[in-house]
Amino acid sequence: MVPLVTKDYQRTTLGARQRPMVRALGEALFSPDGEASPERLDAFIEEVDSFVSPASKTLRFGLKAMLFILKWSPFLFGWFRTFDELDVEDRVHHLEALERSRVRQFPLIVVGFKTVMTMIFYEHPDELRALGYREERKRYLALRAKSAPAREHEHERAP
């Protein structure tokens, strides 16, 4: 009998080099004025890691490569520090400069990470409550399931 081979869904992607970058990005994007607690930002690193770790090896490599480029990108703009060494205000200005850059890859890198990180950050229960969502947030799924059979019958009646 051939043993069953399963994927390792407990793997981690972010190493010691990437974790400070994810925290620095999270701080610049979601806590430029110190809104998020240090504990929340530390937990955010784990949330990002668990989100990207089930991805393919190629995608995980690409994400780590983009973090590497972001880390060293301040040198291309005249800053003599890495991204995670900049203070929060300078990080925000640097991300804005990258988004306006004529080098097409820079805005794509920023927007790519901003999209993924925004989805992850605002799925946290505390953030959802701050946005006004209640505990019954998944109610829309039940309502959608109830209305789905009615929609199927509407197509049958249509001429």
Q: Nearest-CA neighbor of 110 among 14, 17, 21, 7?
A: 21
Rounded to the nearest integer, the mean pLDDT of the chain is: 84
Each residue's pLDDT tens digit, 131-152: 787 765 555 555 555 555 554 4
pLDDT at residue 129 in the model: 81
The radius of gyration of the chain from alpha carbons, rounded to an integer in Å, stands at 21
Q: Does a structural domain hold residue 6?
A: no
Burial of 106 (0-12, 13-18, 19+ CB in 10 A): buried
pLDDT at residue 133 in the model: 78
Q: Does a structural domain hold residue 101?
A: yes
Share of the chain above pLDDT 70, in %: 78
> What's the number of domains the chain is made of?
1
Q: Does a structural domain hold residue 75?
A: yes
Q: Regarding predicted confidence, which is higher, 76 or 145?
A: 76
Q: Does a structural domain hold residue 150?
A: no
User: Which pLDDT band, with edges at 50, 70 and 90, does 154 fall under?
Assistant: very low
pLDDT at residue 131 in the model: 79
| Range scoring the smallest mean pLDDT among 40-44, 79-83, 132-136, 138-142 | 138-142
The pTM (predicted TM-score) of the whole model is 0.75
pLDDT at residue 151 in the model: 46
Q: Does a structural domain hold residue 154?
A: no
> Residue 38 in 3-state DSSP?
helix
Q: Nearest-CA neighbor of 67 among 31, 33, 16?
A: 16
pLDDT at residue 142 in the model: 55
Q: Does a structural domain hold residue 148?
A: no
Are 66 and 25 contacting, i.e. CB atoms less than 8 angstroms apart? no
Q: Regarding predicted confidence, which is higher, 75 or 8?
A: 75
Q: Does a structural domain hold residue 145?
A: no
Range of the domain at 58: 19-134
User: Who contacts 147 (Cβ-Cβ below 8 Å, separation ≥6)?
Assistant: none
Mean of pLDDT values over 105-111: 93
Share of the chain above pLDDT 90, in %: 58
Q: Does a structural domain hold residue 2?
A: no
